């Protein structure tokens, strides 16, 4: 059914969340179950408060996350999406992920709602550097400012431009496909509703049930995203 909708739709959006990245071996740092970083609550470390008042631990946490990211790669699902984008089957990718896997797989024009872990930037002059700086223990800009990860921290709002673009895209969508998002936080749980209200179809592929399941035209639970996309790709 999804392959038919993909062919028919004139504006398809793919919206990805943490579940997309865990299939690349990247742990979901927000998940309470993962116990990723010592015994600390990641939501406290990935915050503006920690950056200002607990900087050593903030830096150590991001060094760890950047190192982990550099060991992981996009998986077959990212590759298929990049291919579909080139073939005109999907028109926009919007992601909650900060790993840059979509771009690494060849996707372009990706809207990153939560920023990126691939770069760090100066909190004073905003000059941007490769995130490898953190691995190399370099945390200061040439101007003397602190280099911070280019991700949205707890305590910060989403980048306005990215959010605005995502909103406009949602209003245009004929087909909105959620891949690996639990749809529990805003705007993840608002954008698909906008797409639906604007007349689009909603497809949700997520390991667990989500609060928006009742809105969906097609639901796929308990399956790996990479496998689902491969099956659909073979039918196209």
φ, ψ for residue 104, nearest 5 deg: -60, -35
Collapsing DSSP to helix, strand or coil, 128 comes out as strand
Annotation-wise, does 95 bind a ligand? no
Annotation-wise, does 214 bind a ligand? no
185: cis peptide before it, omega within 30°?
no
Q: Is 185 in the site for Zn ion (CB under 5 A)?
A: no
Q: Is 122 in the site for Zn ion (CB under 5 A)?
A: yes
Q: Which of 75, 78, 91, 114 is catalytic?
A: 114
Annotation-wise, does 143 bind a ligand? yes
CA distance 208 to 83: 27
Binding-residue pattern over the window 123 to 152 for Zn ion, x denoting contact by CB under 5 A: -xx-x-------------x-x-x-------
Which of the ranges 28-36, 56-64, 110-118, 122-130 carries the binding residues for Zn ion, by CB under 5 A?
A: 122-130
**Considering the complex, what minimum distance in angstroms separates the CB of residue 58 from Zn ion?**
18
53 is catalytic: no
106 vs 145, which CB is nearer to Zn ion?
145
Instruction: Give, in order, the Cα–Cα distances in Å from 197 to each of 72, 85, 162, 174, 219.
Output: 37, 24, 21, 11, 18
**Considering the complex, what minimum distance in angstroms separates the CB of residue 148 from Zn ion?**
11
Annotation-wise, does 122 bind a ligand? yes
Q: Around Cβ 136, how many Cβ atoms within 10 Å?
A: 9
Annotation-wise, does 206 bind a ligand? yes
**Considering the complex, what minimum distance in angstroms separates the CB of residue 92 from Zn ion?**
32
5 vs 129, which CB is nearer to Zn ion?
129
Name the CA radius of gyration of the chain, rounded: 18
145 vs 159, which CB is nearer to Zn ion?
145
**Considering the complex, what minimum distance in angstroms separates the CB of residue 120 from Zn ion?**
11
CA distance 191 to 168: 10
Collapsing DSSP to helix, strand or coil, 16 comes out as strand
Percentages helix, strand, coil for the chain (3-state, rounded to 5) are: 40, 20, 40
Annotation-wise, does 96 bind a ligand? yes
Show the 3-state SS of 171-211. HHCCEEEEECCCCCCCCCCCHHHHHHHCCCEEEEEECCCCC
**Considering the complex, what minimum distance in angstroms separates the CB of residue 192 from Zn ion?**
38
Tokens of residue 60, six digits = 């150590």
Query: Which active-site residues does the annotation give?
Result: 114
Using CB under 5 A as the criterion, which residues of the chain lie in contact with Zn ion when the complex forms? 122, 124-125, 127, 141, 143, 145
Residue ranges at the known binding site for NAD(+): 18, 22, 29-30, 96, 98-99, 114, 181-182, 206, 225
């Amino acid at each position: 059914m999804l392959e038919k909708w993909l062919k028919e739709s004139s504006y398809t959006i793919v919206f990805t969340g943490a579940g997309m990245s865990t299939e690349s071996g990247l742990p979901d740092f927000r998940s309470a179950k993962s116990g990723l970083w010592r015994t600390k609550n990641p939501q406290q470390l990935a915050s503006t408060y920690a950056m200002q008042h607990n900087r050593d631990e903030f830096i150590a946490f991001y060094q760890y996350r950047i190192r982990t990211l550099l060991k992981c790669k996009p998986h077959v699902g990212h590759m298929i999406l990049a291919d579909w984008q080139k073939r005109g089957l999907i028109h926009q990718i919007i992601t909650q992920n900060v790993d840059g896997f979509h771009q690494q797989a060849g996707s372009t024009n990706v809207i990153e709602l939560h920023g990126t872990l691939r770069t760090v930037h100066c909190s004073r002059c905003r000059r941007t550097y490769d995130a490898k700086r953190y691995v190399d223990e370099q945390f200061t800009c040439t101007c003397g400012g602190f280099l911070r990860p280019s991700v949205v921290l707890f305590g910060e709002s989403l980048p306005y431009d990215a959010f605005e673009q995502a909103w406009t895209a949602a209003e245009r969508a004929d087909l909105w496909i959620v891949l690996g998002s639990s749809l529990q936080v805003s705007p993840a749980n608002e954008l698909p509703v906008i797409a639906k209200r604007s007349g689009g179809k909603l497809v949700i592929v997520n390991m667990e049930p989500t609060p928006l399941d009742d809105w969906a035209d097609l639901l796929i639970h308990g399956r790996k995203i990479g496998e689902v996309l491969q099956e659909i790709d073979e039918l196209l």
